[in-house]
Structure 1
Amino acid sequence: MNKLIQARTTELRNERNRFAALAFVWGDLLLELDGDLRIVFASGAADGIIGRRQQDLAGHLFTSFLAKQFKPLVTEMLQVARRRGRMDNIQVRFSQEDDQLSPPVSMSGYFLPDLGDHFFVALRVAINALPPEIVASIRRDNASGLLDEESLSKVVTERLVAQRETGVEHKFTLMTLNAFDPLCKRMGQIERAELMASVGAFLRAHSVAGDTAGRLSSEQFGMLHKPDIPIGALEKRIEECIRDADPKGIGVEVSSTATDFTAEVIPPGDLTRGVLYSIRRFCDRQDHGFTFSRLMGQANNLVNSTFSAMQDFGTRVDELKFDVVYQPIVRLPTAEIHHFEVLVRFNDDDGKLIPTQELIAFAEQVNMVHRLDLAMLRRTLKWIKSQLETGITVRVAVNVSGHSLENPDFCRSAIALFERNRETLGQLMLEVTETSEIKDVETAAKWISRFREFGIEICLDDFGTGASNFRYLSAMEVDYVKIDGISIRQSMKTGKGKAFMRSLVDLCHEIGVEVVGEMVENDAMRDLITKAGFDYAQGYLFGKPEADITLYWRDAPTHR
């Protein structure tokens, strides 16, 4: 029996020595922790990593040296190692003197029950740390310590780029904690903070590099992870944790959905926006509809599908493979055509028309709308030139997203285009559209002034009653504002609303801006906006968008 014990002891000692030798090939510091996570042995570059001499570490809790935000993560990872026998590579940081944080440190190791339930941990200065500019831009959810949505998309992008180089596959899991928000609201502040830290630690501990997990909404969480992570077991552990913390002992139901997140196809450009779009669509895939045929339905690999759609969209835009239609804007009260708005039309691979609003939303979210706007300008200027050659002088307005006005590359390209096509600019107008807020109004205003130097008139589209609209009107030199039909209909319901609309029109006239009314579909609405002083109108009453602009000469409007 003694010989067996000695043989087993020798075997275990050799196993430990082999691990130590291999650890030093990989790492800079080796630690042995007992079952209570106290350091019993340390060897290596303790000064540079933990900020203390290796001989001063014995007897101390390993977690006591960690930066506060990493303590729940490492505690959970060690519990995972206790069950699985190993701890995958994660990134942590230690608290050094004067509350300074150590550089990012990669941490991995094993749990060996035959050696007194000890952990063997290897640390090294992280060589796959995120770029400094990404680290500096990261923002976290205060309650859970998880990345916010934008930051998660940046980190996932970095992991996907590395994944393409290494061939390691990942999955992205969306985890929904049903009725979690009302549970948190009925908990005490301290208990709620502890619960959120625990949930965050569970998700980070199972994510790539221990920090590729984010909070996407009050009840939705997402993480990038290896395919072998036991999501079902993780759901149960989170449910148990929440049930224990719930004052009523009820807890919540946790549900998860996973998709492959690999990066076989990554186009040039803003990769992060494509990842962010993928994450948002995954969170809300039942309601979000934009796609070419590849993005229809439940895509197995959402990132690849999104990037394929981006490539497809970019190719179609750059090669002008899309259709346009023209809708008239008429002068009031005569209904004489003043100009046409040019509207883009895309069909998916099955020939089905893609709703324009979804198309623009996709283009803006993946940071490609400036390419569409530039393509529309190229196509329209070419079309104007062909019309002038046949003796037709018709003015047309092209939509330009507020996002594009914040993109200096688009603006410089547009000016170069204007320089080459000066003979057509007398028939060109621009409509500045705002599907989301223009953040840098001052820069947008400067570019608009440059465009106006070419004699191009500017219309501010989607003008309503919001405070941002008046900020734009005050900052930007424009010739027209287009008031959306919803605002008009709401205002015309009451005497106070009608008075407000008349005052708005008077204000525009006072500063030399003419007013267009949108979505005019019947004579009653036409009469209302005419009495309110509108200068122009657009809507089905005067003509639907048509591919053939000559239809408006063959079938002139009867409303005069």
Structure 2
Amino acid sequence: MSSESDKLRRQRDRFIAFAFAGADLLVELDADDRIRYCAGPSQALFGIDSAAAAGRPLADFIDRDDQARMGELLRRLKATGRMDRQRVRVIGGEGEGGAQILLSGIRVPESGAEAHLTFSRVQAHDAEPRNGDPGAPTPQGPEAFADLARQRLGEAEALGETYQMTMIDLSAEDLDQRLEADDSARFMASVEAYLKAWSVGGDSIGRLDNGKYGVIHDSQLKGAGIEERLNEMIGLFDPAGGGIGVATSTLDLDGAEMSADDIGRALQYTINQFVEEGGGGFAIRSLAEGHQAALDITLSKVHAFRQTIASDRLCLVFQPIVELSAWSVHHYEALARVRQGDRLFLPAKFINFAEDFGVITEFDLEVVRRTINILKNRELLRPKASVAVNLSGRSIANEAFVSELMLILNQNREVLSRLMFEVTESHEIKDLPAANQVLQRLRGLGLQISIDDFGSGAATFQYLKTLQVDYVKIDGSYIRDAFSTRHGKPFLKAISSLASDLGIFSIGEMVEDDRTMWLLRDIGVQYGQGYYFGKPMENVRNFNLSSLPERRRKTFEDPPVLEGGVDGDGLPASFSNIRL
């Protein structure tokens, strides 16, 4: 027994020596969490000298918002014997409000003190805002927590540590009936304080959903301990309520032999499944299992995707794009639809899946093949009709796709004069010069190119600087804003004028009425697309554009004079400074 006591004393002595070397303040606590001994600049941190601090509860010097978490930190220290670099705020001392400090501690029962604590001021290299910092909100939702878990896994690998992820499902449906609103909020705040106290760095938790939490921790936290502590806590707020149901699931955060993408996919899938299924039916016990399950689901979806694009469930519809001055159909845009029974549906999620999982190239090639076949057989289009096909920016960045596309085009040269491409992109094209080389190869075959949704988040003015194209299709948001905001018409005219100066034709989409059509004509937009001209149809061979309506009134009024004046074209003066 004496050898064990000597070992504990040596551990205590090493801790105290280290504490004085690296900390600002050393505090010993008694069994009631009162300060038994204090050494260091307590005046600066606590607002009183060391002698006056003795005998006072430690809670007197902890910021009110951090007191619940401080209580949980001390419970953890007493249970495990050690606590490292947890952030809390103290009150008093220098400056206004609470100072943020890093708190570490050790418990050596043979020393006569219940706990030895060190307080260290947060240094500049520790000052980056984190989830557990004062005022920092708890990450909300599965995606935010998956990102946090991925970060902590990277830190664990760098430090040679092993962390675990526990997801917690509280049966909290009846809390609103059992507790007053304030008590319910205080209970949930206590839950977060408890989980933060046991989490890595004191800031590694997330709220996944209503009543569902995730926490990244070391091996000292156990599922049974979580259930026991949360039931103790609910008893403080609802003594007669009979406790609360708690289901937990713990996984080792071990990403060995998994790529960063695989880890991210496994975390996201695992957390999403827990949110959907709840703790009771959740069966995944490791990242490897989560990754395999995610892979199986993905492969199943890819298989279903490929079956769909190879079947007659995928079909094309054609919407006219009208030359406004000549009042005639210039060409049609081919739009993909998915058939379910006798109805056609927009495949937005379908296409998003294809882009996210790298199969958008297969989709684009299938649409090109089908469009070429339609141009050849002339059953759905008039003999001289031209068609524009959408190509994802991700597709034109794929060398294998470009090679296959060029092969298809060279095998069907007889229809290339009637084929056009629109470059679409939900994410920014990263290598614009490389993309431009591909577009120029296509233009070299006689194909005309358009930038789709110009002016939206991804399709920026930088595109016009780098990509040599024939058309820009102005994003529909600018068309909608033309009559509803004071800057709508000037912005629309600015885009049209810029395209014209560069020798590029402009297309206005989402034209729903004659007022919008006349506006586009007035400001120099050459082409229009929208339900006003014609809805998308599978067969447009017999489509006839309605007669040009009589103009009822002047549509494009002079824009209001904005600060800074206007230039000679009636545009805000700031537009004359646009640089590409």
Give the TM-score range, shorter chain.
0.5 to 0.7
- Measure how far apart 1:250 and its partner are: 4.6
- Residue 123 of structure 1 and its aligned partner are, at CA, apart by 4.2
Task: State the 1:169 CA deviation.
Answer: 1.7
Judge conservation of contact 2:63–2:98 (CA < 8 Å) in 1. yes
Contact kept? 1:107, 1:123, Cα under 8 Å: yes
- CA gap 1:355/1:190 in 2 versus in 1, 3 angstroms: closer
In the alignment, the residues of structure 1 paired with residue 189 and residue 76 of structure 2 have an alpha-carbon distance, to the nearest angstrom, of 17
CA–CA separation in structure 2 for the residues paired with 1:385 and 1:452: 19
Deviation, structure 1 residue 104: 4.5
Question: Do the aligned partners of 2:433 and 2:467 also contact (CA within 8 Å) in 1?
Answer: no
Alignment of 1:281-296 (within 5 A): 281-284=272-275
For residues 442 and 105 of structure 1, the distance between their equivalents in structure 2, rounded to whole angstroms, comes to: 42
CA gap 1:446/1:120 in 2 versus in 1, 3 angstroms: same
Q: 2:28·2:113 contact (CA, 8 Å) conserved in 1? A: no
The residue correspondences of 1:397-412 to structure 2 (distance < 5 A) are: 397=421, 400-402=424-426, 404-405=427-428, 409=430
Whole-Å separation in 1 of the counterparts to 2:224 and 2:154: 28
8 Å Cα contact 2:249-2:285 kept in structure 1: no
Identity of aligned residues (%): 16
Q: Which amino acid in the other structure matches residue 178 of structure 1? A: S
Distance in 1, Cα, partners of 2:257 & 2:101: 30
* 2:512 paired with 1:504: yes
TM-score for the superposition, normalised by structure 2: 0.60
State the 1:422 CA deviation: 5.1
Whether 2:470 is the aligned partner of 1:455: answer yes
Aligned residues: 451
RMSD: 5.4
SS in 2 for 1:91: strand
What does residue range 263-342 of structure 1 map to in structure 2 within 5 Å? 263-264=255-256, 277=268, 281-284=272-275, 298=284, 300-301=286-287, 305=291, 328-330=316-318, 338-340=332-334
1:467-496 Cα shifts (integer Å, max 9, x gaps): 99x9999867673647xxxxxxxxxxxxxx
Q: Over residues 273-315 of structure 1, what are the superposed CA-to-partner deviations in whole Å (9 max), with x where a residue is unaligned?
A: 769845753444559xxxxxxxxx9472069839997xx99xx
Contact 1:91 1:210 in 2 (8 A): yes
Question: Deviations along 1:364-421, whole A, 9 cap, x unmatched?
Answer: xxxxxxx98334455565555445544241535466343x14x7x3667645654676
Match of 1:395 in 2: 419
2:55 matched to which residue of 1? 59
- Distance change >3 Å, CA 77–CA 35, structure 1 → 2: same
Map residues 109-120 of structure 1 onto 2, 5 A cutoff: 109-110=106-107, 112=109, 118-120=114-116
Q: 1:46 to 1:285 in 2, by over 3 A?
A: same
Counterpart position of 1:169: 162
C-alpha spacing 1:338/1:466, structure 2 compared with 1 (3 Å): closer
Correspondence for 2:14: 21
The answer to whether the Cα contact below 8 Å between 1:157 and 1:275 also exists between their aligned partners in 2 is no
**By how many angstroms is 1:109 displaced?**
1.6
Q: Which residue of 2 aligns with 1:235?
A: 227
Closer, same or farther in 2 for the Cα pair 1:286/1:75, shift >3 Å? Answer: closer
Give the conservation status (yes or no) of the 8 Å contact 1:263–1:304. Answer: no
**Which of 353, 356, 359 does residue 358 from structure 1 map onto?**
353
Kept in 2, the 8 Å contact 1:328–1:337? The answer is no
- Tell me, yes or no, if the aligned pair for 2:70 and 2:197 is still in contact at 8 Å: yes
Superposition deviation, residue 74 in structure 1: 1.8
Q: 1:223 to 1:400 in 2, by over 3 A?
A: farther
1:225 pairs with one of 217, 224, 230: 217
User: How many angstroms does 1:245 deviate by?
Assistant: 1.4
Matched with 1:479 is 507
Report deviation, 1:204. 0.9
How far apart are residue 324 of structure 1 and its match?
8.5
Secondary structure of the 1:82 match is: helix
C-alpha change, 1:157 and 1:48, in structure 2 (3 Å) is: farther
Structure 1 residue 69 corresponds to structure 2 residue 65:
yes
Quote how far apart the aligned CAs of 1:443 are: 7.2
Query: What is aligned with 1:81?
Result: 77
| Other-structure match for 2:369 | none
Aligned residue in 1 for 2:449: 428
CA contact (8 A) 2:167 2:214 kept: yes
Residues 385 and 21 (structure 1 numbering): CA distance in 2 closer, same or farther, change over 3 Å?
Answer: closer
Change (3 A) 1:234 1:212: same
Instruction: Report the 3-state secondary structure (helix = DSSP H, G, I; strand = E; otherwise coil) of the residue aligned with 1:90.
Output: strand
Tell me the equivalent position of 1:537.
536
Query: Given the superposition, is the C-alpha separation of residues 138 and 82 from structure 1 closer, same or farther in structure 2, using an over 3 Å criterion?
Result: closer
Summarize deviations over 1:159-217 as a string: whole Å, max 9, x none: 2222111222222222122234x524764354234312211112112211222112222
For 1:28-43, list aligned pairs within 5 A: 28=23, 29-43=25-39
Q: Secondary structure at the match of 1:171?
A: strand
Query: What is the CA-CA distance between 1:452 and the residue it aligns to?
Result: 7.9
Counterparts of 1:508-519 in structure 2, within 5 Å, are 509-510=517-518, 511=520, 514-515=528-529
1:373 paired residue number: 393
Unaligned regions of 5+ residues in structure 1, if any? 1-6, 288-296, 317-322, 344-353, 364-370, 434-439, 483-502, 517-531, 543-556
Structure 2 unaligned segments of length 5 or more: list them. 303-307, 322-327, 338-348, 359-390, 496-505, 544-580
Structure 2 equivalent of residue 179 of structure 1: 172
What's the offset of the Cα at 1:234? 0.9
Q: Any conservation in 2 of the 1:374–1:410 contact (CA below 8 Å)?
A: no
Alignment correspondent of 1:91: 87
Letter in 1 for 2:17: F
